[in-house]
Amino acid sequence: MDKIILIADDNKDIVDILKAYAQKEGYKCICAYDGEQTLKMFKEFNPILILLDVMMPKMNGFDVCRQIRQTSSVPIIIVSAKNEEAERIMGLDLGADDYIPKPFSPREVMTRIKAVLRRVTDDISDERSKRIEIAGLVVDMNSYEAYVNGNPVVLTKKEIEIIWLFASNPGRVFTRDHLLENIWGYEYFGDTRTVDTHIKRIRTKLNLNQSVNFDIKTVWGVGYKFEVK
């Protein structure tokens, strides 16, 4: 599940700067240099957010925005040089989620990207959906805490994200590749035992050989799964 950001601007320098910063924050980037290409890339890669320049060849940002809005509610941030038009743009009812005037600082852009994404995800997931209880295990992503039979267990960020994924999908087998893609967010290369190591630590911490009603079971040759005994 990659986090892809689509950057659309006809100025390659600007694209490169934005791309560098976005990648630093862990997003993958695809770039388009005109309006038509933007639409094409959008359909092909299904990005989680679009940074959209207004002035582009072939089709301008406004029209691109309108077109995309007909089929998708993906967050769109409009970028434009004419900052006196800021209010007009937002008022145009294009369905854009934010507006950034040029010139901008890269930090400002990243802040806005994160803010827009947070706003979008915050709406969907209220507090309740961030907590899971199953077989005596409680995982709460609001407080980043876990409990086994009522006893708190100290888990690191990665560990709690992993157990959250498992507990959310009991019985389902996750391959190491799948876990790396889901939790780590990148493709798996090399033959390290990274996932195994994390599973081991989780097992140790959750004390899975004691009086516990669940298990992270090894599925030989495949991966791991969460199992309620």
Partner DNA sequence: CATATTTGAAAAAAATTATTGACAATCGTG
Partner DNA sequence: CACGATTGTCAATAATTTTTTTCAAATATG
Q: Which one of the spans 38-46, 63-71, 143-151, 203-211 is the region binding a copy of itself (CB under 8 A)?
A: 143-151
Residue 151 or 157: which CB sits closer to a copy of itself? Answer: 157
- Write down the least CB distance from residue 30 to DNA, Å: 22
Q: Which one of the spans 7-15, 42-50, 59-67, 196-204 is the region binding a copy of itself (CB under 8 A)?
A: 7-15
Residue 70 or 187: which CB sits closer to a copy of itself? Answer: 187
Q: Of a copy of itself, DNA, none, which one sits near residue 105, judging by CB under 5 to 8 A according to partner kind?
A: a copy of itself
Q: Of DNA, a copy of itself, none, which one sits near residue 154, judging by CB under 5 to 8 A according to partner kind?
A: DNA
165 to each of 119, 149, 214, 228, how far by Cα in Å?
A: 22, 19, 14, 15
Contact set for DNA, span 116-155 (CB under 7 A): 154
- CA 57/CA 41 separation, integer angstroms: 15
Report if residue 199 touches DNA, rule: CB under 7 A.
Answer: yes
State how far Cα 130 lies from the chain centre: 16
Report if residue 10 touches a copy of itself, rule: CB under 8 A.
Answer: yes
Could you tell me how many residues make up the chain? 229
- CB-CB contact of 40 with 221 (8 Å): no
Residue 176 or 203: which CB sits closer to a copy of itself? Answer: 176
- CA 76/CA 84 separation, integer angstroms: 20
Residue 42 or 214: which CB sits closer to DNA? Answer: 214
Report if residue 82 touches DNA, rule: CB under 7 A.
Answer: no
Contact set for a copy of itself, span 144-183 (CB under 8 A): 144-145, 156-158, 171-173, 177-178, 180-181
> Residue 170's closest CA among 143, 144, 141, 139?
139
β-pairing verdict for 76-80 and 98-101: parallel
190 to each of 28, 123, 159, 182, 193, how far by Cα in Å?
A: 20, 38, 21, 17, 9
Q: DSSP label at 182?
A: I
Residues that bind DNA (CB under 7 A): 154, 156-159, 176, 184, 188, 190-194, 196-201, 203, 218-224
